[in-house]
Amino acid sequence: MTITLGGGILSGCSGPLSTMDPAGPSAEAINSLWWVMLAGATAIFLLVTALLTMAFLRQGDGSTSARKWIIGGGLVFPSTVLLALLAYGLIIGERLLPRSGPQVVEVGAESSRWRWTFHHQRPDGSILTTPDVLHIPAGRPIDVVLTTRDVIHAFWVPRLAGKMDAIPGHRNVLRIEAAAPGTYAGICAEYCGIGHAGHAFRVVVHDDAGWSGFLTGESS
């Protein structure tokens, strides 16, 4: 029974839209942040539960010892853990910021109800447009420039990065990266009308030869 239950829980941590199965450095950083936050929250929960149990099992006499438990366990410990989690979150967030560099590839992603249109720049400066399929090279940082033609949408490829909104009249940039070639599922993570459920796309990750072939039109 225990093995079956454990297997069922673990099976929910994988899949094409699972954040628990990262396939790139940005997604791995977010996954590590999730585990650290879970550990911190669990530590606080267990300590507060222990203090509450102690309060029910014994009569409080207002002694110095009891006050130390309340102040140390109920205030100091949770505050310390929360501050540590905040610091770690800021460090991870700083690592996820897009930065310029020689290896960075910039791709435009224009959302609308209910389609994604991606704009890839070829070596000759021309633009190659693909509907609902984002093509990127493996092992290189990608800056996805998000825009929208109508309402707010959200770009999310759970196995490659966090999500970010595409806002009317605004230009947002999301850094993603895939460690290996393959195909990854992406969705709109912001309700945008009756077609929202089908507002999905794919990310096709190429090796070096495949990426060159895609840009030159020798492959797709």
Please tell me the CATH code under which domain 105-216 is placed: 2.60.40.420
Residues whose CB falls within 8 Å of the CB of residue 127, separated by 6 or more in sequence, listed in order: 119, 120, 121
pLDDT score for 9 = 47
pLDDT score for 4 = 45
pLDDT score for 158 = 94
E runs forming strands in the chain: 105-112, 115-121, 127-131, 133-137, 142-148, 153-156, 164-166, 172-176, 182-188, 200-206
Radius of gyration of the chain (CA): 23
DSSP state of 75: I
Q: Whole-prediction pTM value?
A: 0.78
Q: How many CA atoms lie within 13 A of 181 on its CB side?
A: 6
Burial class of residue 68 in the structure, from the number of CB atoms within 10 Å of its CB (0-12 exposed, 13-18 middle, 19+ buried): exposed
DSSP state of 139: T
User: DSSP states of 180-212 as a string?
Assistant: SSEEEEEEE-S--STTGGG-EEEEEEE-HHHHH
- Which amino acid type is present at position 203? V
Distances from the Cα of 74 to the Cα of 51, 65, 71, 137, angstroms: 8, 13, 5, 50
C-alpha 152/C-alpha 111 separation (Å) is: 9
Alpha carbon distance, N-terminus to C-terminus of the chain: 48
C-alpha 210/C-alpha 217 separation (Å) is: 10
User: Which residues partner with 137 through β-bridges?
Assistant: 206
Residues whose CB falls within 8 Å of the CB of residue 31, separated by 6 or more in sequence, listed in order: 19, 20, 22
Q: Are 146 and 109 in contact (CB under 8 A)?
A: yes
Distances from the Cα of 17 to the Cα of 22, 86, 188, angstroms: 10, 26, 12
Closest CA to 37 of 75, 76, 95, 91: 91
How confident is the prediction along the chain (220 residues), in pLDDT tens digits per residue? 444 444 444 445 667 888 888 988 888 888 998 998 899 889 888 888 877 777 677 655 555 566 666 666 667 778 888 888 888 888 877 777 777 777 889 999 999 998 999 999 998 889 999 999 999 999 999 999 999 999 999 999 999 998 999 999 999 999 999 999 999 999 999 999 999 999 999 999 999 999 999 998 766 4
pLDDT score for 117 = 95
